[in-house]
Amino acid sequence: MYELPAFGSDSPIRTHLTGYDLVTKPMLNKGMAFSERERDVFRLHGLLPPHIGTIDEQIERRLRVMRAFNTDFERYAFLRDLQDTNETLFYAVLIRHFDELLPLVYTPTVGEGCQHFSEIWRKPRGLFLSYPNRHRIREILSDSRFDHVRVIVVSDGERILGLGDQGAGGMGIPIGKLSLYTGCAGIHPDLTLPILLDVGTNNHERLTNPLYIGWRHERIVGAEYDVFVEEFVSAVIERWPNVLLQWEDFAGSNASRMLAKYRDRLCTFNDDIQGTAAIAASTLLAAINVTGIPLTHQRIAVLGAGSAGCGISSLLLRVMVDAGLNEEQARKAFFLVDRNGLLLEGMEGITPAQTPFVQQRDVVKDWSLGKPDQIGLFDVVRNAKPTVLIGVSGQTGAFTEPVVREMAQNVERPVIFPLSNPTSRSEATPQQLIEWTDGRALIGTGSPFAPVQWHDRRFDIDQTNNSYIFPGVGLGVLAAGAKRVTDAMFMVAGKVVADMSPTVSDPHGRLLPPVDQLRAVSVAVARAVAIQAQADGVADVCDEATLDKRIQAIVWEPRYRPYELVVA
d(CA 288, CA 291): 5
Q: Is 527 exposed, middle or buried (0-12, 13-18, 19+ CB in 10 A)?
A: buried
Helical (H) or strand (E) element with 336: strand 334-338
Handedness of CA 170, 175, 177, 178 (dihedral sign): positive
User: Is residue 272 part of an annotated ligand binding site?
Assistant: yes
* 564 appears as a binding residue in the annotation: no
Q: How far apart are CA 224 and CA 232, in angstroms?
A: 13
Within 8 A by CB and 6+ apart from 92, the residues are 55, 58, 59, 558, 559
Q: Is 421 annotated as a binding residue?
A: yes
For residue 289, say whether it is annotated as part of any ligand binding site.
no
C-alpha closest to that of 567 among 6, 30, 18, 10: 18
d(Cα 490, Cα 29) in Å, to the nearest integer?
Answer: 37
Please state, in angstroms and rounded to a whole number, the distance separating the CA atoms of residues 215 and 3: 35
What is the distance, to the nearest Å, from the Cα of residue 354 to the centroid of all Cα atoms in its chain?
A: 23
Of 106, 212, 262, 560, which residue is the catalytic one? 106
Name the burial class of residue 568, with classes exposed (0-12), middle (13-18) and buried (19+) by CB atoms within 10 angstroms of its CB.
Answer: exposed
249 is in an annotated binding site: yes
Residue 225 is a catalytic residue? no
- DSSP-assigned letters across all residues of 407-425: HHHH-SS-EEEE--SSGGG
Contact 342, 335 (CB under 8 A): yes
Q: Which residues, listed in sequence order, are joined to residue 459 by a DSSP beta bridge?
A: 452
Query: Can 181 be counted among the known catalytic residues?
Result: no
Write down the catalytic residue from 30, 76, 177, 468.
Answer: 177
Pick out the residues of the known binding site for a divalent metal cation.
248-249, 272
Pick out the residues of the known binding site for (S)-malate.
159, 421, 465
Pick out the residues of the known binding site.
159, 248-249, 272, 421, 465
Active site residues: 106, 177
